[in-house]
Amino acid sequence: MPIEFDGADTASPGPVKSLLYGEPGMGKTFSLRSLPKSALPALLIDLDRGATSVLGGFDKGELLGFIPDRFAKAGRKEAPAAYEQVKDRLNEIHNDDAIKTVIVDSFTELYQNIMDYVMHKNNKALDSAPTQPDYGMAMRFCIKFVEALSELNKHIVVICHEANHTNDVTGITKVTPALTGQLASKIPGYFDNVLHAKVKGRGEKREYIWETVPNGLYIARTRTQGLDTEIPQDFNLLIKD
């Protein structure tokens, strides 16, 4: 039975769900090299089209790369295709026990693909300004997408860019996943681990780490017991055999 991306509220937890976010160059995609053998093979949905170096770091067959088309022919015109292609690919592996992990790189780009889909569905030009109903529909599709990921009963890794969000009431600014509006606060709630990626040191002393607790500026949390407030970017600390 296909998983439902845009329908009723149904969700079941996957084994370990991790959301990684941070600036470019902070090791988010590169950290996938540390996925333990028990989490492989993995399906990498490469929406950012920048995971070539990661693909080279795995033995043949351990990481399956999937790059959806941004647009596809629809009659005589082109229409946004990425969102529907991603849904189709995930439905294909829904009952495939051989795939242990699903990776989305990045959810920031997926959101743009969803917004393109919404604008096209509402018969609007993609470069026109979305209205509030457009944003509301895109938000609903994003949330249903995350819920559908949970139904896969696989390890989930979602990578996201970062952005500054200021609370309109308190005026406090926090660094959060780069998602529009309420999604920045809603989407992290679906994950076991929300980890902020950063680099400490320089040159040979440079360390790629994940922050696991909030520090007043960044949001972060983990349900994994016994982790320090800063840990190496190593999935073996999150996914146990």
Res 44 pLDDT > 70: yes
| Euclidean distance between CA atoms 231 and 156, whole angstroms | 19
Give the pLDDT confidence score for residue 14 in this predicted structure: 44
- Of 126-130, 170-174, 192-196, least confident by mean pLDDT is 170-174
Query: Is residue 86 assigned to a domain?
Result: yes
CATH number of the CATH domain containing 150: 3.40.50
Confidence of residue 155 (pLDDT cuts 50, 70, 90): very high
| Euclidean distance between CA atoms 237 and 241, whole angstroms | 11
What mean pLDDT is reported for the chain?
Answer: 89
Which of the given ranges, 54-58, 142-146, 201-205, has the highest pLDDT on average?
142-146
Confidence of residue 6 (pLDDT cuts 50, 70, 90): low
Query: Is residue 6 assigned to a domain?
Result: no
Domain holding 230, by residue range, is 17-237
Query: Is residue 204 assigned to a domain?
Result: yes
Query: Is residue 233 assigned to a domain?
Result: yes
Q: What pTM was computed for the model?
A: 0.89
Total structural domains within the chain: 1
Query: Is residue 4 assigned to a domain?
Result: no
| Euclidean distance between CA atoms 219 and 60, whole angstroms | 36
Res 60 pLDDT > 80: no
Res 230 pLDDT > 80: yes
Give the pLDDT confidence score for residue 198 in this predicted structure: 95
| Residue position matching structure tokens 């018969």 | 123
Give the pLDDT confidence score for residue 98 in this predicted structure: 93
- Cβ burial of 75 (10 Å; 0-12, 13-18, 19+) is exposed
Query: Is residue 5 assigned to a domain?
Result: no
Token output for 87: 């849904």
List Cα–Cα distances, 91 to 39, 56, 84, 146, in angstroms. Answer: 19, 26, 11, 14
Res 13 pLDDT > 90: no
User: What is the DSSP secondary structure assignment for residue 45, as one 8-state letter?
Assistant: E
Tens of pLDDT, residues 93-129: 988 999 999 999 999 999 999 999 999 999 999 999 9
Tens of pLDDT, residues 77-96: 889 999 999 999 999 998 89
